[in-house]
């Protein structure tokens, strides 16, 4: 599963209704509308991901 960067949904690449390539990477979307939004302003959506800073912490207890 990969993340739809526009709306944050998890998308199955094999069933994704929309996908696009940007800078050699393929991105998948839950809907064509999300793809359109991404293509309008890819950097905006890429900025929020892959960055090391986290805005929220999930409590992950190993036990």
Residues forming contacts to Zn ion in the complex (CB under 5 A) are: 4, 6-7, 9, 30, 34
Shortest approach of Zn ion to residue 30 CB, angstroms? 4
| Residue 49 CB, nearest approach to Zn ion (Å) | 14
DSSP string across the chain: -EE-TTT--EE-TTT-SEEEEETTEEEEESSHHHHHHHHH-HHHHHHTSS-S--SS-------
CB of 34 to Zn ion, least distance (A): 3
Dihedral pair phi/psi, residue 55, rounded to 5°: -90, -25
* Cβ distance to Zn ion smaller for residue 14 or 62: 14
Minimum CB distance to Zn ion smaller for 8 or for 47: 8
């Amino acid at each position: 599963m990969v993340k739809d960067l526009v709306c944050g949904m998890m998308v199955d690449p094999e069933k994704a209704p929309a996908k696009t390539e940007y800078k050699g990477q393929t991105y998948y979307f839950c809907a064509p509308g999300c793809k359109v939004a991404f293509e309008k302003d890819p950097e905006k959506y890429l900025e929020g991901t892959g960055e090391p800073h986290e805005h929220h912490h999930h409590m992950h207890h190993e036990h």
